[in-house]
Structure 1
Amino acid sequence: MVSTHTGIEWTDRTWNPTTGCNKVSPGCTHCYAEAITKRFTQNFPQGFALTLHRERLQEPKRWRKPSRIFVNSMSDLFHEEVPFSFLKEVFEVIRETPWHIYQILTKRHERLVDLADQLDWHENIWMGVSVENQDYIHRVDYLRKIPAKVRFLSCEPLLGALQLDLTDIHWVIVGGESGNRYRPMKLEWAQSIRDQCNSDHVAFFFKQWGGRTSKAGGRLLDGQIWDEMPEAWNLHRQQREEYLTLSNRKSRKARLTA
Structure 2
Amino acid sequence: MSRVMDKLLACRFRHPDAAVRLFCFPWAGGGSGYYNNWGKLMPGTVEVYSLRLPGRETRLKEPCHKTMEALTNDISTTILPKLKDKPFAFFGHRCKNGYLTSVGEFICYFYSMGAFTAFEVARYLQKWYGLQPQHLFVSGVSAPQSPLRYQKNRQPVFEMSEEAFLDYIRQIGGTPEEILQNKGMMKLFLPPLRADLELLDAYNYQIPDSGPELSCPVTCFDGTEDRDHDLDAWAQLTSHSAFQKTKLPGGHFYLLDKNNQQTLLKHILQTLENI
Bin of the TM-score, shorter chain as denominator length:
0.3 to 0.5
> What TM-score, normalized to structure 2?
0.36
Select the structure with the greater relative contact order (CA < 8 A; seq sep ≥ 6). 2
TM-score by length of 1: 0.38
The structure whose residues are more often helix, as a share, is 2
